[in-house]
A and B are shown apart, each in its own frame.
Chain A
Amino acid sequence: MLSNHLRDVKWYGLIGMLMLPVAFAVQAKELPEGTVISASNYQQIANDTFEGHTIKSMITPAIKLQIMKYGTKIPLVHSNPQDVRFSPAWSKAMKANAGKYTLNSEHKIAQQSFFTKGHGAPFPMNTIDWKKNPAKAGWKLVWDYWFASPVRTNNWAAIGNEAMVKSDKGIINRVQAINAVESLDARWGNGPAHTGASASMHRNFLLVLTKPFDVAGIGIFNVQFSDGSPSAGYVYLRSLRRTRRTASGKSWVDPQPQADLLNDDSGGLQGYPAWYKSWKVLGTKYVLVAVTQPDVNYRDQGPVNGAFIDLAHAPHWNMINTEYQPRKVYVIQGIPPDYHPYGKKVLYMDTQYPFFYYGEFYDKNMKLWKLWYTPFAPYWNGDCKGQPGLENFATYAVDFKAKRMTYIKQVFNAHNCDVLDGMQPTVLKRAASGSLLKKFNKMQEHYLSKPPLPQYAEIEKAWVAKHQK
């Protein structure tokens, strides 16, 4: 009897095992390009795959909240490795650093020569073994980003039209800001590695409001240091018409003016990495990123409108007309110091290039607080050196507690332009007078007059035909 019974079990088991792939095939399928992930279909397709990765594995906690609670829709397109490309000179500099640099016990770069003579990212990404030592890998990756992010390059300037949105009211405020960053160390390409006046000068950072009228010139110019010294900060006092020093010791954890971002959140991470208590890689995975938005220099230059944000429907902050493709990322966790408002930052960094697509910021109780997201766009006409690169199409930050969102619509981006070097605190005054905007307008005119890179010629032609007379 028993043997008969066992035989039955064996048969059922065998039949069950044979049926399993069939059942799985019925439940989980590969989704076609054009599939739109939304609250209405998420549960059905969570276990389906796109390019072999399950949907639920590619949806991070904040994105899931956006989809399920706030109605975000995510259209899928196939990935194309060519969509994430940067200047070959950047890769060359990083590769040349193989084996040159190590971390000391304080998780900082041990070799002092790097700060004055090192070019590009200190730790070639293909040499980083995160499984062997997740903490060390975390530190190396954030240093790569901090010294040589390819979406910052040797210098970067941008004009952003900002809108602050409340989930029940729509747009409640608008400002315009200029953001410019000039690397003073780890520069790559043909020029010198270090251009700062003192050995540990790291970069000049400008974030200044240009509109509306009463705030034009209000902002900050910082000189940051690569040894963790507090930044030297300058502000322009508009009604007094003079620039003066500001107490900048902990200003890196302060909110950006009127916005839902901290100064530390620019690019995902702006503060000196070693001011954080720890960094570590939590793993690698595929997530959904936007890297094929239209070149910002070609988009309409007006204030934030409904072209890429669904302003018409609550919560008035969902991105629209944006396509997402799978891309492999490092999931990196940073624990900030006690005086930082966040309990932790989880950042998603490309595995080939050290820059972040988005980040999830948690409060001190480790409850999800903010989502920071940057869709990217290619330079159709190349950067100032004629090389391919990605520019910030927008900066998107949702504060889930305050139910607010800050959207920075980039209307001008320039990378690797010699004319952006040599920033001084007096640049704040030039922002207030409008002459900096004029300079950027001229740079943009010049950019638009350049021929497109061959790979973008058709896209550019189609865009121009559709949007310009």
Chain B
Amino acid sequence: MKTRSLTLSRVGKALGALTLTLLVAQPVWAIKLPDNFLPFMTNWTVHGWLREYAAWYLTDLPETKNFNEAGSMSMNRQSLFVHTQWWTGPLHWTVRARGDFEILTDMQKNLQDLTAVTGNRADFRNEYDRVRLREYFIDWQATSRLHFRVGRQQVAWGQSDFFHATNVIDGYDFSWRKFLDPEADQVRKPLIMVNMTYDFPRLNSHVQMLVRPPIGDPNWIGNTEPTFGGPWANDGSHGFNFVSRNYSGLGVYNYHYRDSNVNDPDYGLRWKGIANLFNHQLTYALMYYHGHGGFYQDGTVIYDPVHPGPGGNPLQMVFPFTDTVGGSVSGFIRSIGSVYRVGAAYTPNRKMSSDLNGDKAFTEEDAYNFFFGLDSSPHLQKWLHTSNASLVSMQVFDWYIPGADEKDEIVRFDGSGYFAKHNIITTIIFKNPYFFDNLNLGVIGMADLTEGGGMVIPTLDYKYRTHWRFHMEFDWAMGGGYSGRTGPGGTKIGSVFGSLRDDRQLFIRVGYQF
């Protein structure tokens, strides 16, 4: 205990000192180091931010009898993000690092204590606290058409919001922030890749080729879910350590399961272009990717005593290889003043879990993703007194498994039950700028058209001058109740929103950027 409080105190002091330095220095743009600081590096800049993340539960968790979560602080996190870049000759270097420090709240401590029920007590700070280089890569414009980016990086393909059809490359780390934080780049898990782009200017197109060599930490692959428990875990699991990072849960992560070994490379390519049909510009993309994120990025839970995971544990979270082909098209519909986005992805023989107690590890199904979206910028200044055009973005997203039957009990990746043939979620974003765009009031709505239930997320973003940023949101899941059937592991089945409806919370982020 003494060691921890000492560490916390040091971290707190360091962050405090840094904040003070930044406030006193008040750099206008960035910390720009002198060009001769290191003679071989030019245009060296350092940017970043220091933030406090805080959240409070608005409802009590029925699963904890000894604690009333309503009104309790569920997150108290300090993060320091540093983005630095410089040039050496023709090479452009980028390094992005982030340090996260969590001060466990009483609510988190209580949930952590409850995880001892499996005999493997989780260590939440071991799951949350990280100081790491998230991205480090070199950009090289080899010729006017040929560009390379080599190193640990993020690559996003596709035109869909929230959910991913053709965007199958990087997974996400939801262990510390499961809800809809718009900053996807802070939860996306970068991978070491060779990323080559070749332009075809006459065709208004470029081709992109990606290879992920088997370098780096295996757990960079796929999504990381808060399966160790805590405020971001699914309903019924907040105080349950199912699988945790340090292999102390009921199950284990296995990144090297048989032919799902992440030590084999991933690769893919995408053709992206603009077609000019009369005066209609149509953006299109076609892709193929061999990796682990087709159809969904989450791990697949299997029970295989013949091929157990680390420690001889047969209950494993594995990441099977997937091959995905897909495409998207986007353009403007003049008559309704809106941009449409439409896309599809096909992952044949997607390995999924269906029968944890049976003799086969996986079930294999052809799986499709479809989405259709419409975005518009209505001028509502007269009615809402906004300072600029509003944004309305609607989307319908479908996970489609033609061969699925609820009797097959194919486990949904979000832990909310079993897949139906069509699994459709619709979303809407409505954002309104005020005070010269410095204040943005928005609301995000989501609804599960297959299982029922939905979520409403009112948001507020405020920019104070150059350095200070403030974000607030309410995460309000509703409906999606249990259908009465028992799901995998004895869980009650509902929609993904049903599994979040006891997690209603207020979330605040205050940041100072430099």
Contacts and interface: CB of A to CB of B under 8 A. Distances in A.
Nearest to B438: A258
A232 B281 contact: yes
Contacts of A259: 436
A80 interface: no
A198 B28 contact: no
A247 B330 contact: no
A213 B468 CA distance: 11
Contacts of B278: 198
B339 A172 contact: no
A255 B436 contact: yes
Nearest to B389: A254
B106 interface: no
Given A213-B49, A434-B45, A435-B92, A241 B154 contact: yes
Contacts of B438: 173, 258
B87 interface: yes
Contacts of B159: 242, 244
A258 B436 contact: yes
B48 A213 contact: yes
B204 interface: yes
Interface stretch (A71-79, A133-141, A223-231, A454-462): A223-231
Contact of A247 (B204, B377, B436): B377
Interface string B461-503: 0000111010000000000000000000000000000000000
Given A213-B513, A424-B204, A251 B389 contact: yes
A452 interface: no
B183 A244 contact: no
Nearest to A215: B463
Bin chain B's interface residue count: 35 or more
Interface in B309-345: 330-332, 334, 337-339, 341
B47 interface: yes
A250 interface: yes
Contact of A230 (B183, B334, B436): B334
A240 interface: yes
Interface string A339-380: 101000000000000000000000000000000000000000
A421 B92 CA distance: 22
A109 B4 CA distance: 76
B48 to A, nearest CB: 7
Contacts of A176: 29
Contacts of A240: 156, 184-185
A239 B279 contact: no
Contacts of B157: 242
Nearest to B139: A435
Given A438-B87, A441-B43, A212 B466 contact: yes
B154 to A, nearest CB: 6
A247 B338 contact: yes
Contacts of B331: 245
B185 A173 contact: no
A249 interface: yes
B341 A242 contact: no
Contacts of B83: 213
B363 interface: no
B375 A247 contact: yes
A214 interface: yes
Given A251-B377, A255-B437, A197 B204 contact: yes
Contact of A245 (B29, B330, B437): B330
A302 B331 CA distance: 39
Contacts of B156: 240-242
A250 B334 contact: no
B94 interface: yes
A434 B43 CA distance: 10
Contacts of B199: 424
A244 B393 CA distance: 12
B261 interface: no
A283 interface: no
A175 B28 CA distance: 10
A292 interface: no
B376 A239 contact: no
B513 A241 contact: no
Interface in B365-418: 375-377, 379, 381, 387-389
B276 interface: yes
B514 interface: yes
Interface in A183-231: 197-198, 200-201, 211-214, 223, 225, 227, 229-230
A246 interface: yes
Given A174-B28, A230-B332, A434-B45, A250 B379 contact: yes
Interface of A: 164, 172-176, 197-198, 200-201, 211-214, 223, 225, 227, 229-230, 232-234, 238-242, 244-251, 253-255, 257-260, 302-303, 339, 341, 404, 422, 424-426, 433-435, 438, 441
Given A173-B438, A424-B199, 13 more contacts: A223-B281, A229-B279, A241-B155, A244-B159, A246-B339, A250-B337, A255-B436, A339-B379, A424-B206, A425-B274, A435-B139, A438-B43, A438-B92
Interface of B: 28-30, 43, 45, 47-49, 83, 85, 87, 92, 94, 139, 141, 154-159, 182-186, 188, 199, 201, 204, 206, 274, 276, 278-279, 281, 283, 330-332, 334, 337-339, 341, 375-377, 379, 381, 387-389, 436-438, 465-467, 469, 513-514
Q: Which A-B residue pairs are the 10 nearest by beta carbons?
A: A232-B281, A229-B279, A213-B47, A198-B276, A249-B337, A239-B183, A245-B339, A242-B156, A245-B330, A247-B376
22 contacts: A173-B465, A174-B466, A198-B278, A200-B279, A213-B30, A213-B83, A213-B513, A214-B513, A229-B334, A239-B186, A242-B157, A244-B339, A245-B375, A246-B339, A247-B377, A250-B377, A255-B437, A257-B437, A260-B436, A424-B199, A433-B92, A434-B43
